[in-house]
Amino acid sequence: MSFFPYRDGRMYVEDMALDDLAEAVGTPFYVYSSAAMIAAYDRFAGALADALAGRAKPLVCYALKANPNLAVVRTLAARGAGADVVSEGELRRALAAGIPPEKIVFAGVGKTRSEIAFAIEQGIHQFNAEGLPELDTIDAVAREQGVVAPIALRINPDVDARTHHKITTGRAENKFGIAVDQVPRALERLRGLPNVTLKGLAVHIGSQVFELSPFRDAFTRLAELYRELQAQGWPLERLDLGGGLGIAYHDEPPPDVEAYARVVAKTVGDLGAELAFEPGRHIVGNAGLLVARTLYVKHGESRSFLVVDAAMNDLIRPTLYDAWHDIAPVRAPAPDAPTRRFDVVGPVCETGDTFASDRALPEVQAGDLLAFFSAGAYGATMSSTYNSRRPAPEVLVSGANHAVVRVRPSHEELMAQERVPDWLQAPSPTAAGGAG
């Protein structure tokens, strides 16, 4: 079922017409379907619960980096989600959205002392430690607070996730995690660190992973290591299998979440470990759209351009990864409407500010609204103010209700964070122009 259907020639988000929303909030804007993210979350959590059949209880820690909007996180918290965070900011958001600290895992290669201190104060579930020196830091900070901090070692299994090279994280050359060969050194180090306690192992091999075999390989390696460490006497009880399960961005068959859950059950289901997962994109990616208005239709010598009012500062994925996002007009085209090839571009002064090249679209007029699909993950959160453009607002729809869950800041608000030092006072009129 589509959460973005056409009805009477107009595209809807659930029961809210997008053209009405555009009138209400202005363009460009992000819009999320509450029902779509709940459906994706429930399906993911349900598939794991079914496949594990009571052998292990899955803790689904939504990866805030995909979309940290408080209303989005709150929606998932209400379904029982925990959180995967990679900064104090994300941790504060997870807590503010009502996720209990004991359901929060803290990953990331560059946790600072003050971030670690804050997380320990909150009593989070665990740190996923990504390197040996970090163990010393967590230990030292925990000692200052007189507590023992729970950790998992994030293992780098050297598995090719077969995704875009910029978002693969489980190869030996990537900065993430601890190589299997270094684990003995990490354990040796842990023996001398009384203020950290090793609870388990973690892995995350990359993002937008489509094939199941890299997961199978990584989880199998992790299970072997888990058994080995237990045999050595380490009282492990947790495995965190990371996120990474992809979504369909076009008409490809989406990854099979039930088959993913069966891989989990088969590889680690019998270890008796508590299992955690860190899905981001899979939960929110296809629950969101970016909606833009066409400013100009420009027919050049060799190409036709649709210049829209959204740009690479709003959605950077096409520029950064050459990512494909489906684009469709908000006013339904006639079934037999001819198509034409367009480059869909934004107003930013970079050639890379291109959402799609040579894309077949129905005839579009200036003023028409366009929906960019699969923009719920790594969309608004990766936006910037480049070219001094105001970030697009975010809207959450539930049924026929909508709420602006992040407002578009004014130009004054954007400039208010900047300061001009005294020694750069505005030049007096007489000084202007120099020699007179």
Ligand X SMILES: N[C@@H](CCCC[NH3+])C(=O)O
**What burial class does residue 146 get, using C-beta atoms within 10 Å of its C-beta: 0-12 exposed, 13-18 middle, 19+ buried?**
exposed
Verify binding: residue 109, ligand X, rule CB under 6 A.
no
Verify binding: residue 317, ligand X, rule CB under 6 A.
yes
Active-site residue, 349 included: yes
CA distance 23 to 307: 20
CA distance 232 to 223: 14
Out of 282, 317, 359, 402, which residue is the one contacting ligand PLP (CB under 6 A)? 282
User: How many CB atoms within 10 Å of residue 254?
Assistant: 13
Verify binding: residue 65, ligand X, rule CB under 6 A.
yes
Q: Which does 286 bind (CB under 5 to 8 A by kind): ligand X, ligand PLP, none?
A: none
Out of 88, 278, 353, 394, which residue is the one contacting ligand PLP (CB under 6 A)? 278
Q: 77 or 377: whose CB is closer to ligand PLP?
A: 377
H or E segment to which residue 291 belongs: strand 288-299
Verify binding: residue 33, ligand X, rule CB under 6 A.
no
Task: List the catalytic residue out of 1, 53, 231, 349.
Answer: 349
Q: Count residues contacting ligand X (CB under 6 A)?
A: 6
CA distance 245 to 226: 22
Verify binding: residue 167, ligand X, rule CB under 6 A.
yes
Instruction: Say if residue 317 carries a ligand binding annotation.
Output: yes
Among the residue ranges 58-66, 94-102, 131-139, 426-434, the one whose residues contact ligand PLP (CB under 6 A): 58-66
Instruction: Say if residue 279 carries a ligand binding annotation.
Output: yes
Residue 252 CA to chain centroid, in angstroms? 21
The CB-of-317 to ligand X minimum distance in angstroms stands at 5
CA quadruple 162, 167, 170, 172: dihedral positive or negative? Answer: positive
CA distance 181 to 38: 40
Verify binding: residue 325, ligand X, rule CB under 6 A.
no
Are β-strands 10-13 and 29-33 bridged in parallel, bridged antiparallel, or unpaired? Answer: unpaired
Q: Count residues contacting ligand PLP (CB under 6 A)?
A: 18
Query: Quick one: tokens of 259?
Result: 């088959």
Query: How many Cα atoms within 13 Å fall on the side-chain side of residue 169?
Result: 22
Residues forming the site for ligand X (CB under 6 A): 65, 167, 207-208, 317, 378
Which residues does the annotation mark as catalytic?
349
Q: Which residue positions form the known binding site for substrate?
A: 281, 317, 321, 350, 378
Q: Which residue positions form the known binding site?
A: 244, 278-281, 317, 321, 350, 378
